[in-house]
């Protein structure tokens, strides 16, 4: 897995210094947080039952653990439910979180305009081989603006492209956007973004060109 020290898309404007009253201390972010809502461009998103299970454990040592059940049914019910990253706070204003995301890079024939897929000897699509070529997994850093942080509530905002949010572990993807990789092998991920086809290529490409603002709201469970 490649490691990229990249930020999610940040708009080209100057960040003005916040007033001292608006600055937050890193210690106030630590603890176990339960996600209660996500909004997209001001409208609350409909979350699946799996997405409603998201919890973040923000540890004082900079380790971030997050939990959800989106992939739990994979691997005969033994799919992963815990994921790891790092976190830090910048200038008392921004929350930096590292996570996995997938880069959209399918090949499209210049002659036919069709999306390239790998096929098996019987001419059926080899899903595993195809998605491994169509998507590249990276580890990145996303920077959130802290809107609210108390001993009970946390609200953070991320402005990024829709595809950057959709095909990343921020914090639980929609189950329909990922598929199970069976017989992935020891130590390999059992989940991957969905197969890119002629039917969905333009839709996914547009998602990576559409800028959205997301606000995540959390409620503290324990310190």
| Segment 163-212, tens digit of pLDDT | 999 999 888 999 999 999 887 777 778 899 999 999 999 999 999 999 99
Beta bridge partners, 193, equal 178
pLDDT at 183: 75
pLDDT at 182: 84
pLDDT digits (tens, 9 = 90+) for 105-149: 999 988 888 999 999 999 999 998 999 999 999 998 999 999 999
Residue 9 has pLDDT above 80, yes or no: no
Is residue 15 one of the residues assigned to a domain? no
Q: What is the CATH number of the domain that holds 56?
A: 2.40.128.280
The CB density around residue 140, as the number of other CB atoms within 10 Å, is 20
What is the separation of C-alpha 34 from the centre of its chain, rounded to a whole number of angstroms?
A: 16
Average pLDDT, the chain: 89
Is residue 71 one of the residues assigned to a domain? yes
176 burial type by CB count under 10 A (0-12 exposed, 13-18 middle, 19+ buried): exposed
pLDDT at 170: 83
Domain around 80: 2-10+21-222
Count of domains for the chain: 1
pLDDT cut 70: percent of the chain above it: 90
Is residue 191 one of the residues assigned to a domain? yes
Helix H or strand E encompassing 222? strand 211-222
pLDDT digits (tens, 9 = 90+) for 62-74: 999 999 999 999 9
pLDDT at 186: 72
Is residue 16 one of the residues assigned to a domain? no
Q: Confidence band (pLDDT; 50, 70, 90) for 14?
A: very low
């Amino acid at each position: 897995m490649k490691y990229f020290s990249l930020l999610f898309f940040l708009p080209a404007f100057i960040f003005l210094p916040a007033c001292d009253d608006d600055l937050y201390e890193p210690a106030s972010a630590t603890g176990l947080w339960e996600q209660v809502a996500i909004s997209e461009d001001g409208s609350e998103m409909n979350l699946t039952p799996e997405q409603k299970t998201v919890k973040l454990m923000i540890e004082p040592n900079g380790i971030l653990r997050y939990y959800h059940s989106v992939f739990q049914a994979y691997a005969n019910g033994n799919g992963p439910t815990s994921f790891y990253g790092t976190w830090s706070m910048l200038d008392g204003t921004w929350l930096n979180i590292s996570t996995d995301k997938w880069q959209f890079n399918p090949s499209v024939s210049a002659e036919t305009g069709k999306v390239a897929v790998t096929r098996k000897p019987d001419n059926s699509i080899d899903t595993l081989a195809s998605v491994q070529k169509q998507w590249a997994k990276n580890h990145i850093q996303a920077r959130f603006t802290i809107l609210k942080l108390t001993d009970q509530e946390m609200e953070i905002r991320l402005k990024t492209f829709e595809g950057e949010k959709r095909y990343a572990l921020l914090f639980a993807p929609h189950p329909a956007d990922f598929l199970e990789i069976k017989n992935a092998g020891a130590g390999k991920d059992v989940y991957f973004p969905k197969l890119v086809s002629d039917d969905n290529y333009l839709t996914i490409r547009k998602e990576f060109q559409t800028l959205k603002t997301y606000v995540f709201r959390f409620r503290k469970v324990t310190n």
